[in-house]
Each structure stands twice: as C-alpha cells, then as structure tokens.
Structure 1
Amino acid sequence: MYCMSKIDHLDIDGHVLALFLAVLEEGSVTSAARRLGVTQSAVSHGLQKLRRVIHDPLFAKSGRGIVATAHAHALAPEARALLDAMKAFGSGASFDPATAQLSITIAANDFQRDLLLPGLVRRVTAAVQKFSLRVIPSQSPSPAMLRDNRCDLLITPVPPVGIDIVQKRLLQDHYVCFYDPAVRPPATRAQYLAARHVTVVYTDNERLDFDRRLGASGIVRDIAISVPNFTAVPAFLRGSDLLASMPSLLGQQLMRDFASARIPLAAGAGAMTALPMYMVWHQRFQKDPAHSWLRAQLEASVAADVRGSVARHKAGTRS
C-alpha cells in the first residue's frame, strides 16, 4: 500500500516523468540512470515519489530485471503528452543554436546510421552549446514509434502512414549487386537468379524493400544466408561466390572492398531497384523551432556529404 502522506500530484515534475519513462523504455534502473546521466539513487528516489502519488508500484522484479505494471503502461502515453506540453510551454517562439543544449533520438538501421548521422553530428555539434544523439534500431517503422515519443525522427525508405505523420525525402539511391572481386558478376537475369545470395532480414522478420518487391513480382532467388543487419554481410561475401543486392551507397564504406554491378533484371526494373530515403516525424514537432532546425541540419548534411556521392556512384555503375 502507498499512503498519500503529504505528497500529491503537484509534486510530479518533468524530471520524475522523464525518469519513469526512461525506466519503462530501458527495463532497468541502471540503464535508465546511465541514459539520463544521473545516479541510480536519483532514479529510485524519483520512482518512489511517483509511486506515492500514483498509488501503484509501477515496476516489479522479474528474474534479474524488472517489468512494468499494467497501470505503468497505461500511464506512459499521458506522461509523454505531459512532457511534450512542458517542452512546448518552456520553448519560446525563437531558437538560438549558439545557446542550445539539444538531445535527440533517431530511429535508423545500420546503413542509414553510418551514412547519414555522423555528418549530422559534426554539423550540429559545431553550431550548438551541447548536443547528444541516441540512435535506436528502426526495424519495421511504425507510426507508434513517433506517436509514443520513442524517437524524435525516423529514417526509412518506406515511411509509416498516418494523418499525424509528416515525411520529407532526403535522397534517392538504388540497389546494386555486390560481389567478391575475384568472381565474375552475373551478366544476365538467368545468371543472377541462379546464383546464391546473402541478404538482410531484420530481427522482427522484416525484409529489405527490394526483397519484398521481388517476392511480390514472383521472382525467386536462392537465399543462402540471411543476416540481421548490413554490417554482417561482408564476412560472408568475402572469398565466396555469393551475391548481395544492397544500397549502392554502401560501396563508399562498408562494401568498399567489393565490386558492384547493376542488377540484371528485366527492362524497366528501375522502380524495383530504386531506394528513396525519407526523414519522418510527428506533426506535434512540425513547428517546433529546435526540431525544425535539426531537420534542416540533416537536409544540409545530406546535401553536402551524400547527394554528390549518389550522383558519382550512379555514373560509375553506368560505365
């Protein structure tokens, strides 16, 4: 039982709500403290205050970790909404990067993370007083990731749909066939389909959009190896006769030691190999000055560091 004592709802502040959500999302007091940059005792003290107001234990021990109660899960959307309201209340109509201390969570896969985010970090860090970035796996992007405030920005080739979800295209890439330089690339559709392939299947069983398009068209390949991310592909491709159909921009970094060629499918298959990349956010951030500025920095970073490389790589695959 949790008695009222002299603590009531007025004792709930933004810090307590942030502690609560961090523990809920991390599933650990230790991880939540590390994420927020506070001590474990501070997290425990904040949770104890909230328990006295809410009249619920909020979390219970389960094995070596903790699990949230049903009431805690029910309170999470309200807590996020309150924090959003506090943020809006405390942010003025203007935004000054020079005095700003920004923290943002972006959902992206390993390809998007390594391609787009280092440049963003360099650009933003040089312009603001303090900047911190948390990257989480995007897996199968859903509107809930943005609605529930699990991330501030989502990067994906297939934006989730919702009347409250906003998107903008960052760049246009395409899929190519990577292979070990010691072997000959497939010159025909028949050779490509007869070869053995390595591909990416995420941990939630989500496939690459290219693989989904092939399947929808009834095109069947021999998938010899499936790995959970792009980073795992080179180890299997090196010294083998396997093929990997992946974004061409990987040739700049992860796949730079491998040769690449166009994927030899039927004429007019450009739509099948096309790979747009979007940034996606929730409508509540549409006019937020800090969020708008960060989106502009990402666009500028992509324009400076990536789009020129896309054009050069496309020219290379045509030659």
Structure 2
Amino acid sequence: MNDADVDLNLLVALDILLAEGSVTGAARRLGLSTSAMSRTLTRLRSATGDPLLVRAGRGLVPTPRAAELRDRVHELSRDVRAVLRPQINDVDMAGHESTFVIRASEAFMEFLSGRVVAAVSQAAPRVRLRFVSKPDKDARPLREGLIDLEIGLLGTSAPEIRTQFLFHDKYVGVVRIGHPLLAGTGVTPERYAACKHVVASREGNVTEPIDDALEKLGLRRTIMVVVPGFPDAMRIARQSDLVALVPRSCLGNSMVNDDPAMSNLGSFELPLPMPEFKISAMWHPRMDADPAHRWLRDTVMSVCRAAYPRR
C-alpha cells in the first residue's frame, strides 16, 4: 500500500469494530448500514492480511492479531481525530453543547456536586454532567477518555496525569444530636473508644488509622456495623447511638447547614491527632488545551475554593 492508498477512515472503522466486537454495533456507531460495515471489514481484512474478527457462536471474537492491535489502533484513532479537529482557543460556554463525565469521591458527591451542577447550569445550560462512582484509583478511564475529570484523593500510578489541588479535608466524628458523647467536658480517647461504631468501607475493612492511634493508648473500638459508604454511615449514626467517622467535607463548610440530611446529626473533633488529606482534580494531559475542559476545571476549582477557602 502506497501513501496515496491510505484511507484514515479505515483506521477509525477498525477502532470501532474492535471496541464493539460487532459489525451491527459498529455500523450503528458510524451511522452506516450493516452491509456497508461488512464491506468495510472486508477492506480491513484485505489491508491487514488478517481476518480480524471471526465467528464464534452467534458473535464475533478478535483474532490474536486484532487483540494485539486494539490499544494501538484506539490511540492512533484518537490522535487522528485530535489532529483533524480545528483548534479552538476560546469557546462560548453559553452555547456550547457537550457531556462531561466526572468520577468523584463520596465526600464530593455528598456536598459539592450540587454546587458544581448549579454553577455549570447557570453558565453553560447546554452542558450535561454525568457523575460516576469511584471504585478505585485506576487511571485507565482517564487515559482512554472514558472519564473527563476525576476528583478525590491522589494515588493513581500514572505519572502523566495532571493534578490540581482543590482543598484540604480531614476526618471528624458524627453522632445523633443528644448522644451522650456530646455531653460532658469533651470527647476523650477513652470515651470515644467506649462507644459502639459504624464504619464505612467499600471493601469491608474495619481497621482504620484511628485504630492504630487508639491501640497505642491501649484502647480499642467496638465495630458493630460496616456499610459501603459515608452517607450510609451518617444515616445510621443519625438514627442510632453508633458513632461514625466521615470526611469533614461530608458535613459542608460549616457545622450547621440547611441540608435536611444533616438534621439531628452533630459532629466533633476526633480526640486523637489525624492528618489532613488533599482532595484534588485529575485529568489526562491531552485535555490541557481543550477550552471547554479548561472551563470545567476552573468551575470545579472555584466552587471548591468558595466552599473551603485556603488557609
């Protein structure tokens, strides 16, 4: 194949075929008929000298050569789209239409997601936001363009990921209003450890850093309930005598707020020193220069810093 015979449309088609594993699915994504997509697959087989997708029961499976090419083809296809897209140095967000996918920590979703939605809706009414859960710190969704922005604790193993500090957070204790722990002269390590506790852990772990600090004093908590997330722990603490440990950001930017979910729930500083942790925004470097993405980052940063001014 000489340079004049190169058809970049085949590269895009191959990327989608390998992603879908289906001629029908690829045709739907490309807006083509199934027969036209089948002809494209025939051309790809001729160009690569490999069957690429072969029948297995009712579906298609990739050949070893196709599996080997999948990631490389996806990266090349993405680069081709970027090169052939006009460079825009500025964008009118009031008329801009797009969807941003944000992967966020529970603390962010609990308190700040509504503020971000309000800010985005006011300035860019045609921009849609899709929030997804953050089960881990895997950088692949950012690398593959499945996630536009991630918010939470740093920890990704991908050195190229860009980061921007948003605010400091720390753990606090929460109990129902009227809980005996809130009465008296203050919360001591002994009084705290003597209570029964609810722990938030997606993996089901019951040991947290505060347990190590308590152990040094010869103290130990009694864990009665383990739940998947912090909102669940707060809900149980509000309706029982159990004590929960949650990020300060779950409570808002003041100990008293108008959120109905926070009614009948009080908070207290932990009786043992616990380090603060940083909440950051993370994105892939290919989005650095994109004006709409840059606007989204700035909007998220403004919301966070308004809620939690730097000390």
TM-score, normalising length: structure 1: 0.70
Q: Which residue of 2 aligns with 1:75?
A: 70
Gaps of 5+ in 2: 1-5, 46-50, 253-258
- With 240-249 and 97-106 compared, the bigger mean Cα shift is at 97-106
- With 148-157 and 112-121 compared, the bigger mean Cα shift is at 112-121
Secondary structure of residue in 2 paired with 1:92: coil
In the alignment, which of 289, 292, 302 is matched to residue 291 of structure 2?
A: 289
- With 190-199 and 175-184 compared, the bigger mean Cα shift is at 190-199
Q: Which residue of 2 aligns with 1:122?
A: 118
Cα distance in 2, alignment partners of residues 109 and 68 from structure 1: 36
* Corresponding residue pairs, total: 281
Q: Which residue of 2 aligns with 1:163?
A: 159
Taking the TM superposition and a 5 Å limit, the aligned residue runs for 1:266-285 are 269-271=273-275, 274-285=276-287
Taking the TM superposition and a 5 Å limit, the aligned residue runs for 1:203-242 are 205=203, 212-214=208-210, 219=215, 220-242=220-242
- With 188-197 and 250-259 compared, the bigger mean Cα shift is at 250-259
Cα distance in 2, alignment partners of residues 88 and 190 from structure 1: 63
In the alignment, which of 180, 191, 210 is matched to residue 184 of structure 1?
A: 180
- The change in CA–CA distance for 1:270 and 1:233 in structure 2 (over 3 A counts) is closer
Secondary structure of residue in 2 paired with 1:226: strand
Gaps of 5+ in 1: 1-7, 312-319
Q: Answer with 1 or 2: which has the greater Rg.
A: 2
- The change in CA–CA distance for 1:140 and 1:60 in structure 2 (over 3 A counts) is farther
Equivalent residues of 1:141, 1:156 under 8 A apart: no
TM-score, normalising length: structure 2: 0.72
Equivalent residues of 2:13, 2:40 under 8 A apart: no
Cα distance in 1, alignment partners of residues 55 and 177 from structure 2: 54
In the alignment, which of 261, 268, 275 is matched to residue 261 of structure 1?
A: 268
Cα distance in 2, alignment partners of residues 10 and 73 from structure 1: 19
- The change in CA–CA distance for 1:206 and 1:14 in structure 2 (over 3 A counts) is farther
Cα distance in 2, alignment partners of residues 81 and 127 from structure 1: 34
Secondary structure of residue in 1 paired with 2:163: strand
- The change in CA–CA distance for 1:148 and 1:60 in structure 2 (over 3 A counts) is farther
Identity of matched residues, % = 21
AA matched with 2:178: A
- The change in CA–CA distance for 1:39 and 1:11 in structure 2 (over 3 A counts) is closer
Displacement of 1:232 in angstroms is 2.0
Deviations along 1:181-210, one digit per CA (max 9) or x if unpaired, are: 2321272112222322112212xx2869xx
Is 1:102 equivalent to 2:104 in the alignment? no
- The change in CA–CA distance for 1:60 and 1:119 in structure 2 (over 3 A counts) is farther
